[in-house]
Amino acid sequence: MIERKPTPEQLLERIESHDQHANRGRLKIFLGYSSGVGKSFRMIDEGRRRHARGQDVVVGAIQPSLGPEVQQSVATMEVIPVNEVAGVPTMDIARILDRHPQVCLVDGLAYDNPPGAAHAKRWQDVEQLLDAGISVISSVNLQHIEEKREEVEAITGKHVDQTIPLSFLQTADEIVIVDAPPQSCMRLEEAKSGRAIRLTQQQLSELREVALLLTADVVDKQLERYLARHGLQQHWGTQERILVCLSPNSDSKRMLESAIRNRDRFHGELIVAHLNRPEWSPEQKSRLNEFLNLARDKRAEVVEIDAENMVDGLLRFARQRGITQIYLGHRGRESWYERAFGSDIDKLIAQAEGIDVRVFPHS
């Protein structure tokens, strides 16, 4: 193989990318897919641990109401007092720049600054700190990402006004999803109107999926920057093969919507399968055909799997086609036999080595 010499333009781009990376502070963001998952605690705890290891860490901005654990961690570090501008607390950028710590903690990344502040948005304050060579650890909720606001609002019914652009999130050197189990954050949230909003486990699962896909995008950008700095080209791609198994009783619409998003995100392949059972009623077959037609409209391959044993048939097909993800509907363990010995879903999960299995409860 002949190694091609880089052009002067490519060399200049490589040098500029390397210099920018060397002189700029590092940005780490803790991303929460819902309020209450503990992103602020994770951010503060990261600062506390770095401080304990000897790094020069200050707190530039923090939420006004903190739990006892968070307050205790904050008390171990230097806090830069905020400025009051038009009665609104804002980061004291000038003082932080003069102090020039190694690391600055900034909570509430999506906050708007009042008129008269150095910048209109807090994320722009952070950008100035990064340009000055100060590393920043920050936190933000999924609903405050501008390009994801409408999608999250459609899931939660909750509207937000303060946001950050996705382009800024994509400059992060590290992004961490605060992945608390949905059950732990199924709590009451107070909307601005005072009306209580309770997110269901299904809503939280959908938000988590959006956050995971968003994080994958950010990681792709990190890889692009790394390759640019080292003058490398990417010669590989990600190929996901998703198998959605539909039945008349499955939550077919939600399964298909999720699979299509993942197929499009990873430029993969989507296969929709069904087991044509003779005991299904005409109404059940009609309902299944409706979703099979939807799958065809969305450019999915539709196949019928002829197998007496659901587990063996699906896994045999999955191995033959190199499936990486299987989506299934599940009604729960209804019979005493399933409760005692496990369901077909349990058996499939146990045998699906190397294949991710996602289970959607019947609606």
3-state helix, strand, coil in the chain (%, to 5): 45, 20, 35
Burial (CB count <10 Å: 0-12, 13-18, 19+), residue 348: buried
Segment-wise mean pLDDT, segments of 10 residues, the chain, 363 residues? 47 52 86 84 92 95 78 88 88 96 95 91 96 96 92 90 92 86 46 53 84 80 68 55 88 88 83 84 88 91 85 89 87 49 76 86 65
Alpha-carbon gap, residue 45 to 144, rounded angstroms: 22
Query: Does this chain's domain 24-229 share its CATH topology with 241-361?
Result: yes
| Reported pTM | 0.61
Of 310, 307, 349, 308, nearest to 326 by C-alpha is 349
Which distant-in-sequence residues (6+ apart) come within 8 Å of 328 by Cβ? 245, 250, 345, 348, 357, 358, 359, 360
Q: Which fold has domain 241-361?
A: Rossmann fold (3.40.50)
Domain 24-229 has CATH 3.40.50.300: yes
CB count within 10 Å of CB 86 equals 10
**CA–CA separation, 146 vs 214, rounded Å?**
12
What is the 8-class DSSP label of residue 112? B
Q: 3-state class of 25 per DSSP?
A: coil
Place of tokens 């993800």: 325
Question: What is the separation, in whole angstroms, between the first and last Cα of the chain?
Answer: 56
- Return the pLDDT at 6: 53
Q: Residue 69 has what pLDDT? A: 77
Dihedral sign, Cα of residue 107, residue 140, residue 218, residue 179? positive
pLDDT in tens, 303-337: 998 877 888 888 999 988 889 899 988 765 554 44
Contact call for residues 133 and 24 (beta carbons, < 8 A) = yes
- The phi-psi region of residue 299 (left if phi > 0; otherwise alpha if psi is between -120 and 50; otherwise beta) is left
Calpha distance 19→149 (Å, rounded): 34
Instruction: Concatenate the DSSP letters of all residues of 129-180 into one string.
Output: HHHTT-EEEEEEEGGGBGGGHHHHHHHH-------B-HHHHTT-SEEEE---
Among candidate residues 168, 254, 239, the one with its CA nearest the CA of residue 203: 254
Give dist(CA 315, CA 348) in Å, integer.
8
Q: Where along the chain do its domains lie?
A: 24-229, 241-361
Dmax over CA atoms of the chain, in Å, equals 76
